[in-house]
Structure 1
Amino acid sequence: MSLSTSPGARSPRTATPAADAGTAAAPVPDTGSAAPNAPGTRPDRLQTVVALALLALFAAALVVLATMRDDPHWDRLVYLLTGFEAVVFAAVGAFFGVTVQRGAVAAARRAADEAGARAAEARADARLQRERGEAARQDATAGRALAAAVLAARDRTAAGRSGDGAAAELGELAEALFRDPDRR
């Protein structure tokens, strides 16, 4: 048994470069200038004409059927009318269903766009927090090194060694450890 896929379908093993990089595509803002007859924007004129024509044709068929009720072909006409009735009601139902659901679809699209914007903002905030955390870790490491140097200098002066150069050494160490990248 073989599984066939459509030509445009991706296999589960095929990944997109964006998925490999762990990034998501940025949401595209809605400019509000959709094509005049784009699906989901407003009823297409052709849809309206077809729905109204089918309703008119159905009404005409009912009139013809009513005028031919004494005709010997009544059973055949009723049989044909039931099939035509199903087609007309399906077409008109689809037309009005699209019209009724248009608002819900637009609201869902707006909600999806807002969620995408919030997600992009959250990713940017997370990236900023990671950078701040890394800077805090570097400062903590430098602070521990400076504290160790201060304690060592204190121990040297307590042991009777000269402490004259210790302050200068500690100042240089503090400048080296906590150098502001903007002041270089």
Structure 2
Amino acid sequence: MMSGTESAEGEVEPGSSLSGTALVVAVTVIAVWLGLLVWLAVDTDASEVIWSRLLVVLGSVEAVAFAAVGALFGATVQRQRVADLQARADAAESRAEANQAAAINGERLAAAVRVTHVPGTDGGAERLSTDARLGGDPVLELANRLFPD
């Protein structure tokens, strides 16, 4: 069963909050609680027994009203958190795509270095170092070290 805060794919929408029946119930419970508070403030000539009974009813409605206020504020806070997390996920996805493209380009570069620098032949490639102590071509060695076959 899909609630009003989820999309068809099951993802929570950033702009969603309490809606429909839940919102109506929350606002109604809060209004009833406020009405009882006003009534108790105005009706000061009630007997002790009536006051006791009204306070029991007020306590019950108050618990539900606080839950409703928590749901309203919680939905607002959660909506902001979901929007922040969605922005972070989008940024991470962009970085991952850029890193994937860089890795593909690096592998292509390594393959090109291997093709142009065939061991034991000149291959028309120019050595990048004149230091005879290095032995092989440092670019080819680097490509083989970073991207082993």
TM-score clears 0.5: yes
Alignment-derived partner of residue 65 in structure 2? 88
Query: Is it true that 1:62 corresponds to 2:65 in the alignment?
Result: no
Out of 137, 146, 165, the position equivalent to 2:121 is: 146
Percentage of matched positions with identical amino acids: 35
Tell which structure's C-alpha radius of gyration is larger.
1
Matches of 1:39 and 1:115 in 2, distance apart?
19
Alignment-derived partner of residue 46 in structure 1? 21
Out of 106, 113, 120, the position equivalent to 2:90 is: 113
Q: Where does 1:7-86 land on structure 2 (aligned, <5 Å)?
A: 40-43=14-17, 44-66=19-41, 67=43, 69-86=46-63
Report the AA paired with residue 42 of structure 1: S
**Residues 14 and 80 in structure 2, CA contact (< 8 A), matched pair in contact too:** no
- How many aligned residue pairs are there? 111
SS in 2 for 1:41: coil
Q: By how many angstroms is 1:48 displaced?
A: 3.1
Matches of 1:62 and 1:147 in 2, distance apart?
94
**Residues 29 and 61 in structure 2, CA contact (< 8 A), matched pair in contact too:** no
RMSD between aligned residues: 2.8
SS in 1 for 2:121: helix
Matches of 1:99 and 1:85 in 2, distance apart?
21
Alignment-derived partner of residue 76 in structure 2? 99
Q: By how many angstroms is 1:39 displaced?
A: 5.1
Matches of 2:95 and 2:102 in 1, distance apart?
10
Q: By how many angstroms is 1:101 displaced?
A: 4.1
Q: 1:71 to 1:56 in 2, by over 3 A?
A: same
Q: By how many angstroms is 1:60 displaced?
A: 2.5
Report the AA paired with residue 114 of structure 2: R
TM-score (norm 1): 0.50
Q: By how many angstroms is 1:56 displaced?
A: 1.3
SS in 2 for 1:146: coil
TM-score (norm 2): 0.59
Query: Is it true that 1:128 corresponds to 2:105 in the alignment?
Result: yes
Runs of at least 5 residues in structure 2 that lack an aligned partner in the other structure: 1-6, 124-149
